[in-house]
Every structure is written in C-alpha cells, then in structure tokens.
Structure 1
C-alpha cells in the first residue's frame, strides 16, 4: 500500500509522517490503525458533525446476529446441532437461508469437523447437502486462490476442478432431496462459473433457480459474474442481464451498480450511463423504506454511495453512511478494497468534504 500511495504527490508528506509514526510505535505501516491513517491521508474531517459514528467505532462486521453467531460458535467447537436447527428454521426465507449457509460454509474452509459429524449423524439431511455443496465450492476457490490464471499452478487448477465436480454432484443430490430449495441451484451457479458451463447449460441451471426464487439476490449476483467478460460473457451481456433483472423487482435494483463496478475497466464512463442513473432512482426509494439489518441491504447502500458520490450527490451519500453506522462489511468495501475498513473511512471523509456543512 505504501508504494501506491507514494505515487500520489499530494499524499507523499502524509505517508512520510505515517511511516515515522509506525517506526515510533515499532510496527509496520500496514499495522497502523485505520482511524489514524485515513485522516492523515484524506483530511482531518470530524465526521461526527454529520451524524456519523467516530472512525474508531467502524468495524468490518455486521450487527450481532444471536442465532447465527451461536451456531457459528458451536460449529467451531465441532458441534453440528445448532447449525442444523438454524438451517431448518430458514426454510422458505431464502435470503436468510443464504446468509446462514454462506456463514457456515465459510467456517468449513478452515475446519469442516462439524459438517463431517453432521454427516455421520444424519447423512440423508437435505439441509446438510445444501450446505455441503456451497462448502465444497468455497473449498475449491480456496485451493485455486485469487491470482490470475497465469499465476495459478496446474495443481491448483486440478484441485479446483476436482472439488467443483464434487460440489456439482452434491448439489444435484441436495436438489433432489429439497426440490423447492433454491440453495443447491445457487451452488450450481457458482460451479457453472468455475467449470465454464456454456450458455445453454448455464441457462438450464438458471431456469431451475428462478422457478424456485425469481428474485433471489445472491443467485443474481452469481449470474452477473458469469455474464461478465472475465468469465463467460462480455461487458454488454453483463449490463443487459443487470438491467433486465433490475426491471423485475426493486429488490434487484442494485445489480446495474454491481455491473458498473465490475465493468468500469471496459467502459470508464459506465457510472454516467442511463443504466446507473435509472438504477439509482429505483434503488433510493426502496432503501428509504429499509434499514441496514442484512448484509444485502448494507451492500446496496454501499453501492448507492459510490454512485451518489460519482454524481456529486454527497449529501445523499452521507445520509446512506448515517444509516450504515459502523458497519463496513458490505459492498463495495468487502471486494473492491484491499483494506475494507480504510476504504470505508476514506469514502466517509470524502463524502463529508463534498457535502453541505452541518448547521
């Protein structure tokens, strides 16, 4: 991070000051607290004057979720029963089910003992099958890593493909066990991207998904990635998908903003297109009636913030930050920044600097 900052002349003196501070504290530059770094680099703005929480209170986490937190804590101890009960309780609430499955699957990347014990106790469980399918996809991506193909070894690709093939088989069995559940089909959408399904084969998976949950947000995000240029589509196909999906429900209004985030390298002016302007005008009224209780809502607000700031609507961006409070766990911070917390703090400072001064 230091070298990239030194390329910006306006920040050189601030970086030198921070490097001295790191030396004084006996730590690396990257280990300095973000609440110290952000004001030095982008301005000592008292964001609390705009009703925002202090920098030090910002966390890369969502609000406490007692049931999910308890299930995850038990899972780390190898106990599967709380996870099984929680997954059972999500039946029919597919967005909640997605949050639960993803949180539990994330744990299995480091330790899958709880899922193995669940399988020993109840191998025919459809809930277990749905979770295992997503867990195997996560494990596959962990093996592959995040580097470009040229920097990924043959052994990594082989492990990636092997685990995705396993996930594919498990997902199909879970879909048979739980024919109404979109979760196994969401797992297959992730598999489709990794195994490079052709468009017709992907379309068959997609049809099964939307038949069960036509506005399933997480699956639309997966499909958006499939249709982008770096996977099996193009900038045009991705944007077309985003626009069509957003037109079906206000709950999907942020998809064109995700497409803009993904496609800005293909079209530097994408944030100023009618696609973005129309999406923002649909998304903002919906957000006005919602809070920030789910990660999806926090992500939608974060994406709205980016669009608002690009269009110099900083007062409205500050309003969105006010609703987000201390939570920097959503988009775009979680995927577009090496340091999500620092990116969140920077955007808050810049939004306040561009907004009207508090009375």
Structure 2
C-alpha cells in the first residue's frame, strides 16, 4: 500500500493525529484573537436558524416552516436556512416527513426535501477520490441525484419566483456532469429570479473551474463578471485566485484583480455587508488574500471578526482539516502584523 492509498483509508481525525504538521505558536491574545485551542469548525448561525435547526433535530418541523415563511424573498438568507435544514434531513428525515405529510404542496418543504436528497447523494458517493469509490456507490450517487433534480423542478413549479431550486440545481448539474449549454440553461433560471444570488454564484464558480467543466480563463471571466454586479460578489476574484493556488499555479494572489476585488469587498464588509449571511465566507477569503499579499494588520482585523470559527469554505481545502488551516493562516497574519 502506498502512502497516498493509506491516507485514503484514514478519517479526518486520524489524518490530523498522524500527519498534521506543527504550527508555529503565536500570541493570539496580543491581537485580541481567541486562543488556538478555542478554534472550532462549527458553523456560525443566526439565532432563529439555530433554533429551527435544533427543533428539526428533535423531530419538530413547525419552527423550520415558520423560519422560511418569515424570511420570505430574502433569497440569500432563505438559501442558507434551506441548506441548514436539509443537512439535518439528510441524516434524519423525521421532521421533514411530518412536514410534507401535513403540507404536501408546501414549496418550503419541497425545496428542503430536494436539497436533502442532494446531500444524501454525496453521502453515498463519499468524499473519497474517484478511484476509491465503488461502481455501486457511483450508481447510487447518480440515481439519488436524478431524484434530487426532479424534486428541485417540482419545488420550482410550486414557487415560480424562487431562485433557490435553480441554485440547488447548479450543484446537481456538476454531479450529473451536465454540458456547458445545459448548465447555462439552469443558470439562466437563477438569473431570471435573482441576478445577485450568492449561493448560486458560489456553485457556478465551481462549475467553471478547470477541475470541473471549465478552465482558468472561464473561471476568471465568471468571477470578474460577478464582482462587477455588486460588492457582495466581490469575493469571486479572491475565490478564483484560491482555485488557481489549489491548482499549483504560481503567485495567483499577486494578480491585480485580487487587490481590485479587496478594494471593493473590504468597505462593503465594514458597512452594508457587515451582517449579511454571506459575510463570513467573504471575510475568510479576504483574510486569506490579505495574508498572501502580506497585509498582516488588515488580515488580523478580519480574523477578529471571524472569531473562533473556522467555518469558511476557504479553510476546507486541507487534508488536516479546517481548524488546522485557519490556525496556520492566522499564525502567518500574526507574524506579519508584528
């Protein structure tokens, strides 16, 4: 067995125990930051969303239904709430079944059901490399993804103005290996309902990456187009640089488009976007970019706002876990700030 084959047999905790490299300790308290041992990858949730999730875990659907009804057409917050509830339903659908029985034509229950099927599909496939996924797992993955796609289309029919089912289909399209033309058709469905939908832009960004069905050029084109729409999408060029870094491209963070994006994103995070549902992911991308650009003091300010939670997407590309990556980059920020 090779080293890489052995690594594939290990869970995240085993990897961390056996392989995690040491991180140079920094005096986090000096910068007003939580101690290293306080860092967690638990997701930060608004109180109403957390309460609905906890009720859902206990088998009670009404708080979740009330939450989505109350959010209304705040599409970014709606997408976040749907994702939280659907993750619970993928593991235990007790509350969801009761909800759908009580309200069979409820569009909110329909989209939570559709998204939960997407989560179940990825559970079947697992996060292993394709070479370690069995034929049966792939077959189950595709079968459940097809069901999820059909469920999303039903949810879209029940709520014609809601971009959420269309945004969820962007993720399904990646798993089902939709062609670029087919993906663009789904994307048009999102744009017709919410041209600034953050979650949909995040999923589409992944589709246009070279590792999926795009290229570096198409990814950057998409990122620049999105960032020009609104400051809340200015994180897209930072995500593009991050994907280039993950593809071993040399010095992607020094691209002038990264600094231009920061010039737009940072003021928005300090003002209108301070408490936006997408702010934490945007801050995480900003913190990473600022460290790479050796702007330590500014990075520290973003880490102060992030607190002890390593729940951003940018920390997840690490075999040793999000907490380790967060601490590593934060440590670099502290050294730069000194």
The two structures have a TM-score, normalised by structure 2, of 0.89
Is residue 2:131 matched to residue 1:164? no
Is residue 2:296 matched to residue 1:314? yes
Structure 1 residue ranges (4+ consecutive) displaced by more than 6 angstroms after TM superposition: none
Correspondence for 1:282: 264
Deviation at 1:109, TM superposition (A): 2.2
Deviation at 1:83, TM superposition (A): 1.2
Partners of 1:301 and 1:336 lie apart in 2 by: 18
Deviation at 1:65, TM superposition (A): 2.8
Is residue 2:188 matched to residue 1:207? yes
Is residue 2:223 matched to residue 1:242? yes
Q: Structure 2 matches for 1:1-359, cutoff 5 A?
A: 30=16, 41-63=22-44, 65-264=46-245, 265=247, 267-289=249-271, 293=275, 296-336=278-318, 338-356=320-338
The two structures, once aligned, show a CA RMSD in angstroms of 2.3
CA contact (8 A) 1:94 1:182 kept: yes
- Gaps (5+ residues) in structure 1? 5-26
Partners of 1:176 and 1:152 lie apart in 2 by: 34
The two structures have a TM-score, normalised by structure 1, of 0.84
Deviation at 1:316, TM superposition (A): 0.9
Aligned residues between the structures: 326
Deviations 1:334-359 (A, max 9, x none): 34453212222222222111113xxx
Deviates more, 1:191-200 or 1:217-226: 191-200
In terms of Rg, which structure is larger?
1
CA contact (8 A) 1:292 1:324 kept: no
Deviations 1:9-55 (A, max 9, x none): xxxxxxxxxxxxxxxxxx989469xxxx99xx333321111122233
Deviations 1:127-157 (A, max 9, x none): 1111111111111111111223222211111
CA contact (8 A) 1:329 1:340 kept: yes
| Distance of aligned partners of 1:173 and 1:291 in 2 relative to their CA distance in 1, 3 Å threshold | closer
> What secondary structure, in the 3-state scheme, does the structure 1 residue paired with 2:316 have?
helix
| Distance of aligned partners of 1:312 and 1:353 in 2 relative to their CA distance in 1, 3 Å threshold | same
